[in-house]
């Protein structure tokens, strides 16, 4: 019996291992997972993976399949929130695709951040909520520190921006396209301003809640404590808006552009807003011994001196270089007479 020779076995092929994910893709995946987890119902798992051509795909990872209508709604909600960061998204009932940066989405984010900055200039709603102590009273069993922390947490949830900006922590954004890179830089700068404005609201809420507790400890009257703290707050918030408006009016002048005022600066400004030393403008010159909020004839409004029609120049040979003198305007009568003589000739 003849036995055929055994065929040679080909060596086993070693498949290449998984390609390591790029750092920027891993950071993007973390950000997308945070956003989608916030949007999804509590307890629902979200799967995020890299697409071979580039980008990410997101799906609902649950043991029991979700209905097509509910899945479609959830994926489109995720797409809306992810697109607010600046990415182009495509969603259907099966999955969500997160692709590259979109100029239209970045422009939309710029508009949202600018609108948020304008809304954050109003501190009155934050003050109202802070003095209400989130519906709790200082005489409850909760310690004052815990009560203040609860008020700050409620204000932070109402602002919404702190949580949304925290989802982008550790994510360095960039693009090889110059116009997208400029938009990303603008978005990053606006996000820093919004974060600083939100921090001021949180500091204000902490200060007001603590002040209400302190006032309540003196006379045990919660309504009175809230009125006292709120009345004091309105003064320095109003002073802040006045000074912010005067700083914006000087943006076109030389040396203009005062830095954004913080909480301490506002309180200091409120205490001295009615005692500022302003230049007293009269019809005969400018002196430095007038302390007023209105001035005379050429008064000062909100700290911005109005331009006087007469030229102000230092007196030649004067010993005091600080006190200026208004040079008298030349009369136009001789000039008019001279012109009439020339016309007669």
Q: What pLDDT digit, counting tens, does each position of 258-310 carry? A: 445 555 445 444 444 444 434 444 444 444 444 444 443 444 444 444 444 44
Provide the CA 326 distance to its chain's centre, in angstroms. 45
Structure tokens at 280: 């007293």
Rounded CA separation 294/301 (Å): 7
Rounded CA separation 41/160 (Å): 18
Residue that is written with structure tokens 């960061």 in the block: 85
Rounded CA separation 99/340 (Å): 79
222-244: pLDDT as tens digits? 888 888 888 887 776 655 555 45
Q: CB–CB of 161/117 below 8 Å? A: no
pLDDT of residue 33 exceeding 90, the answer is: yes
Q: In 175-221, which residue ranges form alpha helices assigned H by DSSP?
A: 178-219
- In this prediction, residue 18 has a pLDDT band, given cuts at 50, 70 and 90, of low
Q: Nearest Cα to 78, choosing from 103, 58, 100?
A: 58
- In this prediction, residue 47 has a pLDDT band, given cuts at 50, 70 and 90, of very high
pLDDT of residue 111 exceeding 90, the answer is: yes
In this structure, the chain runs to a length of 345
DSSP string, 219-259: H--HHHHHHHHHHHHHHHHHHHHHHHHHHHHTTTSTT--PP
Rounded CA separation 61/65 (Å): 8
Q: State the average pLDDT for the chain.
A: 74
The model's pTM is 0.64
Rounded CA separation 306/323 (Å): 18
pLDDT of residue 214 exceeding 70, the answer is: yes
Structure tokens at 313: 């120049």
pLDDT at 206: 92
Q: CB–CB of 67/76 below 8 Å? A: no
The residue-averaged pLDDT of 49-71 equals: 87
pLDDT at 284: 45
Q: CB–CB of 280/292 below 8 Å? A: yes
First and final C-alpha spacing in the chain: 146
Angle at 143 between CA 137 and CA 146, to 5 degrees: 90
pLDDT of residue 14 exceeding 70, the answer is: no
Contacts of 328 (CB under 8 A, 6+ apart): none
Structure tokens at 211: 């002040």
Phi, psi of 245 (to 5 degrees): -65, -40
Residue 49, helix vs strand vs coil = strand
Rounded CA separation 312/316 (Å): 12
């Amino acid at each position: 019996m003849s036995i055929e020779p055994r065929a040679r076995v080909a060596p086993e092929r070693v498949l290449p291992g998984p390609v390591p994910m790029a750092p920027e893709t891993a950071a993007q995946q973390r950000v997308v997972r945070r956003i989608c987890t916030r949007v999804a119902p509590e307890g629902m798992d979200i799967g995020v993976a890299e697409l071979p051509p580039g980008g990410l795909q997101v799906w609902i990872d649950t043991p029991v399949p979700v209905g097509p209508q509910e899945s479609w709604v959830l994926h489109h909600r995720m797409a809306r929130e992810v697109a607010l960061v600046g990415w182009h998204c495509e969603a259907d009932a099966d999955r969500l695709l997160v692709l590259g940066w979109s100029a239209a989405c970045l422009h939309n984010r710029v508009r949202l951040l600018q609108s948020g900055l304008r809304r954050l200039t109003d501190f009155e709603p934050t003050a109202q909520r802070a003095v209400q102590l989130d519906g709790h009273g200082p005489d409850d069993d909760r310690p004052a520190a815990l009560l203040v922390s609860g008020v700050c947490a409620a204000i932070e949830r109402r602002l919404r921006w702190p949580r949304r900006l925290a989802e982008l922590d550790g994510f360095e954004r960039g693009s090889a396209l110059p116009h997208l890179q400029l938009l990303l830089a603008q978005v990053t700068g606006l996000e820093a301003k919004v974060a600083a404005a939100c921090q001021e609201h949180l500091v204000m809420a902490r200060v007001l809640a603590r002040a209400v507790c302190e006032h309540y400890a003196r006379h045990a009257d919660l309504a009175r404590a809230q009125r006292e703290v709120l009345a004091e707050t309105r003064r320095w918030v109003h002073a802040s808006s006045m000074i912010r408006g005067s700083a914006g009016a000087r943006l076109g002048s030389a040396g203009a552009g005062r830095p954004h005022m913080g909480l301490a600066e506002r309180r200091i400004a409120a205490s001295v807003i009615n005692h500022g030393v302003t230049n007293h403008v009269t019809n005969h010159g400018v002196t430095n011994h007038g302390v007023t909020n209105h001035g005379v004839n050429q008064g000062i409004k909100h700290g911005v001196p109005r331009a006087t029609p007469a030229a102000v120049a230092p007196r030649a040979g004067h010993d005091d270089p600080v006190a200026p003198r208004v040079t008298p305007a030349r009369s136009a009568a001789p000039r008019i007479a001279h012109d009439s003589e020339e016309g007669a000739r």
